[in-house]
Each structure stands twice: as C-alpha cells, then as structure tokens.
Structure 1
Amino acid sequence: MRKITFLILSALILSTFSWQVNAQYCVSTFSNQTWEFVTNVNYAGINNTTAGSGPSNDYTAMVATVNPGGSNTMSVTIDPDSSDYIYAFIDWNQNGILNDAGEVYTLATSTSSAGPHTMNITVPGGAAIGTTRMRVMVDWGNSTPNPCRTATFGEVEDYTVNVSNVTGDPPVIVCPADITANNVPGTCGAVANYSALAIDTEDGDLTANIVSTHPSGSTFPVGVTTVTLSVTDSDGNTSTCDFTVTVIDNELPVAVCQDITVDLDPVTGMATITAADVDNGSTDNCGIASMSLDVSSFDCSMTGANTVVMTVTDNSGNISTCTSTVTVQDVTAPEVFCVGGFGIFTESEDFEGATIPTGWTTVIESGSQDWTFGSGDMPLGTDFPTNAAIFDDDAAGSGEVNLARLLSPAYDLT
C-alpha cells in the first residue's frame, strides 16, 4: 500500500514539474527603447541592472526565492520619458497566464520619475510550489496592464520566481531608514555606514549572516542607490529588505574667468564671443553641465571695457559665477565720401613767357589775333620787364572784335 501511495505521489510531482517546464507564456514586445526602458529590477534575491537592450529580454536564469504568505519588496528603476506605467505580473498558480486575479501589480502610473518605484508584494498563501514566471514591464501611455502587450515605446523583462515551502518561520530582517549624505569635498560620492538586524525564531540572532549588495562603509555615488539586504536561516528560508542611500552634491563649481580683447568686424561692426573664450579652466567635482555668458555680442556703441558675467552650472545644478573684462576695439579706419560739387580753391602756376607753356593751348574764338609770347613790349602803356603772354585786342582794327582763349591743362584735384 505504501508503494502504491509513493508511486501515485511521484506521478503527481512529475506531472507538476512537467507543467512548469513546458508552460508557454504569451509574448510581449516593444519596438523602441529610446525613451523608456527598465534599468534595474530588485526582488527577493534578484538585483539586475540593465539598459533597455531589446524589445523583450529573457532573464529567466535569475531566480527570486519567496515563500507562501511571505512579503518581499519589489523595486523597479526606469529610464523615464513621461506618462510611463510600470507593471509586474507573477503567475502564482502556474497556469501559464500572467494576469489572473491577484497576479498583477502596478508600481507606477503616468510617471516621469526614474524611481526606484517600490511595492511590498505578499505571496498568496495558496501559491503553487515550484518555479514560475515573473514579467516586469514599462509601458508608455497605457493605463491597462496587459502582460501580452505589443506596442512601440517600452520594454519587458522576464524572470523566474521560486516559490518554496516554508519550514519553520522565515527570519525577520530589519533595514535601516533611508540615508541621505552630502558628498565628500572634492569627490563625487560619500561613504555611508549603517547597521541592520536579523532574527529567526529557531536560529536566534542572524545579523552576522546578513548579505548586502552594498556593504556598510561602501562609497556611494552622487544620486540614489538602492541597497538590498538578505538573510537565510538554517531551514533555507530567505528574507530581504531594501533601503536607499542618497548622496547630494552640494559642492559649487569653481568658475575661473580671463580678460580678453576682441575686434569689431570691419563689415558688420559686430563682435561675438562664447563662454569658452572667457573660461580659464573652470572645474567641478562631478563635472560641468554648462557655461553661459550674460553678454556675448558687442557693437560699435560698446567699444572699450565691458564687464561680462560667466555662469557655470554643474551636473547637480549647483551654480557659480565669475566676471571678465572684455575690451572691444574698433580697428577699422573711416572712409570719407564727398557729396555735391567742388569747393572753392586756388591753383596758381608760374611760367617763363618766352613760349607757350607745355600743355597750354590757345583758341581763337573770333577775329584773327592770337596770344603772343617772347616779348614784354606792350602796344600801349608800360612794358613788362620780362617776357609775357600778351593779347593785343586793338590789332584787329577799329570796330573789329578779337576773342582768343588761353587754356591751361586739366589738373587732378583729388
């Protein structure tokens, strides 16, 4: 009779095992992980940091161990955009369906926060013993959880959950409160020390057996880090808890300016500078996000010394400023343009009257008398002491008109 009972029990166990192995779950895919994807999943021994590597990701080799009736914190961190929903599905009854009653968990709705987003998940008392499937999903703009969803923006990750029988009471583990610390000056992190407690009804104090993802005394980077503590008793029961360590960068950047000189453009009359022109080696312990100037363009009205303020912003939003003297030079000579006719001027030329000067000409307008050269004798009156240019208007006779022009060459008055 015992043999028959054993054989029947063995058959049932094998049948259950075969179902778990052959259970087929629906496929969920998202085609674009540019804006929203999972960056960390932390649950009951799973602590997986990812970077949105594909439309659906198989991490079923990673196993979370839970007990019926036990509670564990699930933490999911994402790279967010906006209107993001975070869901978890766990097939507690192992029927191959991920959204039966009591198997759907909503960790965040319409969020634009990276998180971590956390939820305390209690394993149903009637959860089937053995391994089953857990699916974690970030889904953009969808308020209806669907483990089989196919869409554009989001990501899905599959894991394994091992539901094990509880032998005795699981240990109780107590995490410290969340820790907040300022960065160590000159560095981009801080050391955090903490203590925790673990007690088991059978094994007593198990504090020394606590395992941490980030041991006390570790250096934590600026930002939020989730720390998971776990402890296992002699019966193989494991309990976990989580807390966060937040390191704040409150160190201002060091803004260093230099004085510079710029020339106005000869065509536009403008000069433009950038923060890089003024910067003289500004630094920050966690990196500089941006540098900007309050004045970057100059015109002819700004020649001379100008005070310019440079603002340096680091990756944590801390701001420092420094000032620079920007000397603006107008190095282009003016161009003079005259409008209208010539002004009044006097031009004189002396020449020896023996002959007509080079370049000069005479034109007889009427009559026949022309200008004469080579003598100083006047027809009437006092003679010239030297040769002269003489026009005798009486030479044509009484009543006759003589008109002759003596023309100089053209002069370049420019």
Structure 2
Amino acid sequence: MKLLLLDQGLSARTGHNAATLEELVLQAASPCGIALTCATASSLDRTGLAGLPCEWRPVFRLHGYARFLSDSDSHEPLLQRLTDLCVEDLRQLDLAAYDLVLMPTAYPVHLAALAQHLKSIRAPRLCIGLLMPPSFWACDARAAQWLDAVMQQSIDALQMQPDVSFFSESGEYRTGSTVLWLPTLLPPIADRTHDWIAAQLALPLPEADEDAVERPLVFGFFGDPSPRKGFELLAHCIQGGLPGGAHLSVALPTRHEALAGALNGTAPSVTARTLGPGNAQYLEAMQAVDVVLAFYDPAVYGMQMSGQKSAQPFLRSVSTQLSRLGRERTRDHSRASTSLPCEDRSPSSGPVARQIGAWPMFRSYSQVCGISRSTSGNGRLSAAVTKSSPGTTVTR
C-alpha cells in the first residue's frame, strides 16, 4: 500500500499537521504493508525526523500557512502565479503512482493547483480535509473574498473527479454563502493508539468515596500557548490564584521550556513541562487530568477554525469556571477526561462526551486513509463515517 501524505503546511514536527504525521508513521512502522511518503513545505526542518519510516519530499515552495493581504484591486495575476508555482511543485510528485493521496488540510492556493494539475493526469484516489475556512489565510476582508472564490472554484472542479472525496471535522464547510454538508472524520490514529485509547475507556471507574472527592481537581492545558486557545486567560487566572482544591497541569511543546519554567514558579498548585514529539506523551498526560481546558475565543474560532458552534467554549472568567467546576464536584467524580467548561453543560456532557462516543470513527478513518484497502462498489473512496445533519504574508 503506497500512501502519500500531501501537507504543504508541514514544516516542523509540531502542531496538528505533525500529529497526523505521527499516527501515519506509527502505522507505517507496524507490519501492515504501508509505504509512506510525505510531501511537505520546502522549508521542512528535519531535526528529529531521522529514523522515521517515511520518504520525505519537501517540494512545496509556497508554505501552506502563507497568509494573504490585498493591497490592490488586481489579485488575479498574483493568485495565478502562485497557483502555477504550486502546479510545478506537484509535477515533481507522481500522484498516480500512489494507492491513496491524503491531503488532511486543504490550503486555498494549493487546492487550486491540485484541481488544475488533475486536469492533465489520471486522478488518483484522493481524500481531502476541508478544515479552516478561507478567511483563516486572509489578512483582510477583501483577501478573504478572493480566497473564498478560489476555494469554491477548486472544490467544484475536484468534485467532478470520480475518485476524490472530501471530509470535515464538523460535518459542514462554508465558503462564502455556500454550505457543504460533508462526511465527518476526526484525525486518523494508528492501530496501536486506538488500542491504547480503547483500553483506557474499558478501565472501570474508581469507586466513589470521600477520599476521591477530597483530592484536588486537576485541570490541564495542552499544546501551543497561543492567544486563540485562551492561554492569556489562563495566565490571568494563574496570576490571580487558583481556587482551593484545584491543580493546574500545563504541557507545552518543546521550544517553550522558558515558559514552562516560569509557570512552575508561580504557585504550588501549578506544574508545567514540555513534551517531546509524538502523540503518546500527550495522550498519557491528558489521561492524568480531570478537565482539559481549551478556552477558544468564539469570534476567533468561528473565523479561523471549523466554526462548529457546539465546540465553542463559554468564555466566562476562567477563575469563575474553575471555581464552579470545583463546587460542582460530586460523588460521581472520577479521574476521567471530561468536557471543557461550556455554557449550560456539565463536565460530564458536551464535546468530550460526544468525542468518546466517536472513537469508532477513528477506526473508520484509518480505513479511509488506506490502512485498509476498502473501497465502495463504484471504486470511490469508501468513507464509513457518521451522517452529518440538514506565518508568512503574501502581497502583490
């Protein structure tokens, strides 16, 4: 099985791009017959990549996360030049030689290049993730309109290809006034990761007793400490002092050692550390906390991510939320991952409750990604999924 990971935004072993890579690499290392090739940004930092069972093709000169600023009314020549550049890079890859091409994140100009390139070659089996809206790559409203049009035209063209499938993480994708209803797939995980998660979910809950209620309630923050994830709110909460009976565990990517050290000295109830590459350490760290905090700003989330309303956190004061959750701890409290604080939701319901119920979809995604060679009767990529309901700035 020859699998090509097409990720023009992958340039380092960090972030959600690398998280997808880690799972595919882990699966490729198992005796499953996958030969993995990864086509990335030309600026790929190979530090820490040695030994991974993957062929690297850092061919894309336009980084996937390059952003766009409109400084004139004439944007078509710029977009066409960039599209032609990306087509040249795609020609270095024999897409038809792969059993499956997975593009987990669709970048607007690269998607346009892919649509143009497929007009001249035999289209491979191609699975494309529509995650962030076009406005994610725009520095202003006019650039967002341009990119909206680029994405819509590219999607229309690719939908005409018989072996091209789209998916999203929320069941829908918006470009301008158009809403696409799509299969819902969460990020792929390797068999080993799936088995570990299944084993954790199968563990019996600890017996409810007074000691369990009295122990500290452990909150966790994971990943990049960016403003859009609400890290500034969390820092404000730390400065103001955590409520009694609460402990905060912060796990940051490597390169944030100084911040982790500074957080460690703020209070006895705060611990911080950095975690190396790979998903296993993050999963184990999440398993050790009670509540995973992800205080995304709804305005930013709606403009830059999937915009799925059900996943937007309720941004009351972080200290208030921590105190509320601490007060609401009852005898059914157990050391299991629970929901982030959301409006009108208790910690035992909401996004994480749905997510736990969605673990079987991860296995389906593994199959869709070519880990299993399943196809539907008409030869198209079989997406066994749930049904959905009715950087750099580029200027001219």
What interval of TM-score do these two structures reach, taking the shorter chain for normalisation?
Answer: under 0.3
Greater fraction helix: 2
TM-score (norm 2): 0.21
Q: Could you say which structure has the greater relative contact order, defined with CA pairs below 8 angstroms and 6 or more residues apart?
A: 2
Greater fraction strand: 1
